[in-house]
Amino acid sequence: MPRKAIPSEALLNLQRQLGALPPRSPQRRHLVQAASTVYGVSVPTLYRLLRQRRQPRSVGRSDRGSPRVLPQAELERYLELIAALKVRTSNRKGRHLSTTEAIRLLENYGLDTPEGHVQAPKGVLKTPTVNAYLKEGA
């Protein structure tokens, strides 16, 4: 027996009608039952087809590229200090302080800058985040 094909326009129309109703409304069941009898498919099949319909999704988060833990300017200031610390501690072979150690120093002891003493709050800066921003800026 061949499968019954439901037109995509009908599924879209049904989905639009169901979206306007509250989740537990009895009218939802009546709409689905009526559509299933019209197209000759079972109610679970119709629900499965509605679930399988492709929903538009965003490619990334709406706040992609902006930090979630700190304001952008504050994070950039800490990144500048960490980068300067890594450059300042490099030797002739190119070895320098690790990002984790630079974050630890900045959080525990802080750094003296021309603007004054700067100390980052503990637990806010994470090594992967700092490395990603430093790599992006380089």
Each residue of 11-42: pLDDT tens digit? 999 999 998 999 899 999 999 999 999 999 99
Residue 4 has pLDDT above 90, yes or no: no
15 lies in some domain: yes
Evaluate whether 120 touches 103 at the Cβ level (below 8 Å): yes
- Residue 117 is predicted with a pLDDT of 96
Domain that includes residue 36, residue range: 8-52
77 and 123 fall within a common domain: yes
| Tally of structural domains, the chain | 2
pTM: 0.58
DSSP-assigned letter for residue 65: T
Residue 1 has pLDDT above 60, yes or no: no
Tokens standing for residue 86: 């890594």
3 lies in some domain: no
Termini Cα distance of the chain: 63
106 lies in some domain: yes
Q: What is the mean pLDDT of residues 71-84?
A: 94
Q: What is the residue type of 70?
A: L
57 lies in some domain: no
Instruction: Give the start-end residues of each E strand in 18-101.
Output: none
47 and 90 fall within a common domain: no
- Residue 107 is predicted with a pLDDT of 96
58 lies in some domain: no
118 lies in some domain: yes
* CA 46 – CA 44 distance, rounded (Å): 5
Each residue of 81-105: pLDDT tens digit? 999 999 999 999 989 999 999 999 9
DSSP-assigned letter for residue 116: E
100 and 45 fall within a common domain: no
63 lies in some domain: no
Q: What is the mean pLDDT of residues 6-14?
A: 90
Burial of 71 (0-12, 13-18, 19+ CB in 10 A): exposed
1 lies in some domain: no
Residue 119 has pLDDT above 60, yes or no: yes
44 and 79 fall within a common domain: no
